[in-house]
Amino acid sequence: MKTFLRSIVVSAVFATPLLAAEPRLVFEDDFSRNEVGNAWHSPIGSFRIEEGALRGAEDPKDGHGAVTQTYLDFADLILEFRFQFQGSKSFNVVIDDRYYRGAHAGHLCRVSVSKSQILLRDDKTGFMENANFKLLRDKAKRAPTLTKLADKQKQIPVKLESGKWYRLKVSMIGETLSVALDGNTLGTLKTPGIGHLTKTDFGFTVVGDGLLIDDVRAWLPASTGETLIYGPSRATKELLTARMSTATGTPTLEVIHREPLGLAAGPVAYHPEHRVIYAVDSRPKAKGGGRGYVIKLNDDGAVAEKVPFETAHGYSYLGLDRSRRFLLGGSYSEGHSDVFALGDQGIPGKVVSNRFEGRDKAHAILTTPDNRFAYVPYVKDQNALHQYRFNKKTGELTPHPKGMITPPNGIGPRHVAFHPTRPYVFFSNEQGLGASSFRLEKDGSLTFVESAAVQDGPPQAGQTASDIALTRGGNYLFTGLRGGKPGQPNAICRYKVGGDGSLEFLGMTEADTIPWCLQLTPDERHLLVSATKAGTLTAYEVGDDGGLSKAASIPWDKQIYDMIVLSTTEH
């Protein structure tokens, strides 16, 4: 952060020093059921449950190994599972970014296991990189290409047997891929492709007839670096950068830079490939809005350049589609939902799709994990949820055949979160103050499951819900409660998420006045909350049971309604 112009160090600590953090479990499956279930997507070959394990088998007609994947967004991950060869010749543990276009099928890295060898491989900058992928299929160019790519893989000899269970541990941390068999570390490979920041899934490719997989578990490793928090202040028309460090075991926060913007930016979004922040004025054009900045970041996270661009409307919500090719904006004041095409450098171009439903107070827009659908909730004096199909090639939004749905009275869905591995969608409830759960049907429509209230009876005048945050494993959900009048509580509401999409209200944790934006740190050790009236940034330690304890808090600015949270390896 040496290029930052000024540093304001204000740190207040509330928690006792922490012990070295253990990796946090975000996924587990012991296959103790009869059906494979929704957590696994198997487009090729066959997978079934057999004696409490997952059995995969290749279909020779496919000309490809049997494939199964689970969707989970991560940068670093520790993956462990047991396996047993039956009729299978080999299998791959494959890590993808299914929207990355620079490598065949979005393949990033893999661990290939046969009875005689374990192979670690960089696919992104190595064997699956588009140009290399083509060269390797040219007989005349294959040999020199393999020589060129020698440092993109590591071969480890082993002796494995059919019918015997083994435990494999695969760790991806930064640019290093390592593997351990039955507790013994066998080798590592360090290469840039492994450090790809937007991994979207892990899975298995089974070659041959018969491999058993069991006891799959995945953890997020504890962060060893720092966290950067970017928040635009409508009060001072600046972009603030704060730094969070856990180097001493006790979290500390400090504001380290203020970047003049000259506009009252509200929402922000971040593009990880181009390393840019989008910040736009939430006011309509008639009131001075309709403009924004693409803020380019240096390698150290400092602001390098601000590129202005015009917006079609004033937005209260910004997001990227899953392919990161389109910028989506929801206009609260004008009611429009717009989709911008992004250029090669991430600069927004023309609006490729606009939806206006004849009403204002559109509060969010986000695409589903498969990038095929999107939902726009309308709140305040309305209780509407519009459903759309999303064309991931063109960015076009078209009304879903089932159209708008009207949630039960007193809900008022506001902000949205998608379960990572199960077909459920969650909203913070602006009218009812709690959270609501919907089932995501195969046709992309939503079916109401339930609403979890946080108090008896309707909210008092001035009480409203705010943001929503869901843990990576989909186990715990947090929403903000804003008390707009003296004596009304300001809090973070906590919920446990059931496997059937149910929500169990766990209680409230006190927050500063008007907790507006909620963001989990990349390692999910802390929940960061921006309080717009108090003008504070607070870090809460997240317990394994979904509990929250205040760890650190600092003043920054009032009217910071949104944040971007990055680890120091992500910008």
Q: Which of 296, 232, 314, 228 is nearest to 562 (CA)?
A: 232
What local confidence, expressed as pLDDT, does residue 411 receive? 86
**Tell me: the pLDDT tens digits for 277-288?**
999 999 988 788
Task: For residues 38 and 53, give the distance between their C-alpha atoms in angstroms, rounded to a whole number.
Answer: 16
Task: For residues 380 and 431, give the distance between their C-alpha atoms in angstroms, rounded to a whole number.
Answer: 7
Mean pLDDT estimate for the chain: 92
Tokens of 366: 């986000």
Q: How confident is the model at residue 539 (pLDDT cuts 50, 70, 90)?
A: very high
Which residues, 6 or more positions from 349, have their beta carbon under 8 angstroms from its beta carbon? 340, 341, 342, 343
Task: Tell me: pLDDT of 5 over 50.
Answer: no
Q: Is 395 helix (H, G, I), strand (E, B) or coil?
A: coil
Q: How confident is the model at residue 379 (pLDDT cuts 50, 70, 90)?
A: confident
Task: Tell me: pLDDT of 6 over 70.
Answer: no
What local confidence, expressed as pLDDT, does residue 486 receive? 87
Task: For residues 386 and 378, give the distance between their C-alpha atoms in angstroms, rounded to a whole number.
Answer: 8
Cα dihedral: 88, 38, 110, 77 (round 10): -130
**Tell me: the pLDDT tens digits for 465-518?**
899 999 999 999 999 999 988 889 999 999 999 999 999 999 999 999 999 999
Task: For residues 247 and 13, give the distance between their C-alpha atoms in angstroms, rounded to a whole number.
Answer: 14
Task: For residues 494 and 471, give the distance between their C-alpha atoms in angstroms, rounded to a whole number.
Answer: 11
What local confidence, expressed as pLDDT, does residue 461 receive? 78
Task: For residues 396 and 356, give the distance between their C-alpha atoms in angstroms, rounded to a whole number.
Answer: 13
What local confidence, expressed as pLDDT, does residue 447 receive? 97
| Residue 390 near residue 321, CB atoms below 8 Å | yes
Residue, of 433 and 122, whose pLDDT is higher: 122
What is the Cα Rg of the chain in Å?
A: 24
Task: For residues 514 and 481, give the distance between their C-alpha atoms in angstroms, rounded to a whole number.
Answer: 7
Dihedral sign for Cα 256, 553, 316, 446, please.
positive
Q: Which of 409, 413, 455, 463 is nearest to 436 (CA)?
A: 413
Element (H, E) at 77: strand 77-96
Q: How confident is the model at residue 9 (pLDDT cuts 50, 70, 90)?
A: very low
Which residues, 6 or more positions from 332, have their beta carbon under 8 angstroms from its beta carbon? 282, 315, 316, 317, 360, 361, 362, 363
What local confidence, expressed as pLDDT, does residue 248 receive? 82
Task: For residues 55 and 211, give the distance between their C-alpha atoms in angstroms, rounded to a whole number.
Answer: 6
What is the arithmetic mean of pLDDT over 310-336?
A: 96
Residue by residue, DSSP assigns 92-137 as EEEEE-TT--SBGGGEEEEEEEESSEEEEEEIIIIITBHHHHHHTT
- Classify burial at 470, counting beta carbons within 10 Å of its beta carbon; exposed 0-12, middle 13-18, buried 19 or more: buried
Q: How confident is the model at residue 570 (pLDDT cuts 50, 70, 90)?
A: low
Task: For residues 365 and 106, give the distance between their C-alpha atoms in angstroms, rounded to a whole number.
Answer: 25
DSSP 305: E
Task: Tell me: pLDDT of 11 over 70.
Answer: no
Task: Tell me: pLDDT of 562 over 60.
Answer: yes
Residue ranges of domains in the chain: 24-220
**Tell me: the pLDDT tens digits for 145-162?**
999 999 999 999 999 999
Q: How confident is the model at residue 231 (pLDDT cuts 50, 70, 90)?
A: very high
What is the arithmetic mean of pLDDT over 511-534?
A: 96
Tokens of 274: 């181009």
What local confidence, expressed as pLDDT, does residue 371 receive? 96
Task: For residues 556 and 104, give the distance between their C-alpha atoms in angstroms, rounded to a whole number.
Answer: 44
| % of the chain beyond a pLDDT of 90 | 83
- Classify burial at 161, counting beta carbons within 10 Å of its beta carbon; exposed 0-12, middle 13-18, buried 19 or more: exposed
What local confidence, expressed as pLDDT, does residue 463 receive? 84
| Residue 552 near residue 244, CB atoms below 8 Å | yes
Q: How many CB atoms lie within 10 A of CB 72?
A: 23
What local confidence, expressed as pLDDT, does residue 453 receive? 85
What local confidence, expressed as pLDDT, does residue 16 receive? 38
Task: Tell me: pLDDT of 233 over 90.
Answer: yes
What local confidence, expressed as pLDDT, does residue 569 receive? 61
Residue, of 455 and 83, whose pLDDT is higher: 83
Task: Tell me: pLDDT of 440 over 90.
Answer: yes
Task: Tell me: pLDDT of 119 over 70.
Answer: yes
Q: Which of 163, 108, 200, 228 is nearest to 420 (CA)?
A: 200
Strands (E), 311-380: 317-320, 326-330, 336-342, 348-356, 366-367, 373-378
CATH, range 24-220: 2.60.120.560
